[in-house]
Amino acid sequence: MSGEFYDGIPLELLLFEEVRVPDPTHLRRSLRYRGALDIEPEHAVEAALDPRRLVGRDPSSRTGESIRVVGYSAGMGRLLTVVLLPDRHPPDGVWQIATAWPTDKRVRPAYQGLWEVS
């Protein structure tokens, strides 16, 4: 969000040129959480590369390296929260997906307030 930095780069200026899914099992949330929705890798990538995405620091990051992106996946028809790690420091536009989940109702209004999404 505005005013926050990542490796000295304002969050709103971070590059997102390529997003990779190194381990798709992290997107199979139903293996860890009963009733959770699994996310297909292509849907997580689509949400992460949404040009209207919201980007913020990941408050649950143990290392402080991850960011959260809220973006729309047209293929899935919903907003997703995607946790990303940079391929290198400082970030050069290549990111790795750590995990993703459907965006919850507390976060959706922030995206929907800026963009028209059902």
CA distance 37 to 54: 21
pLDDT in tens, 65-105: 999 999 999 999 999 999 999 999 989 999 999 999 999 98
* Residue with the larger pLDDT of the pair 3 and 8: 8
Radius of gyration of the chain (CA): 13
| Block residue for tokens 């929260």 | 81
Mean pLDDT for all residues in the chain: 90
Residue 115 pLDDT > 90, yes or no? no
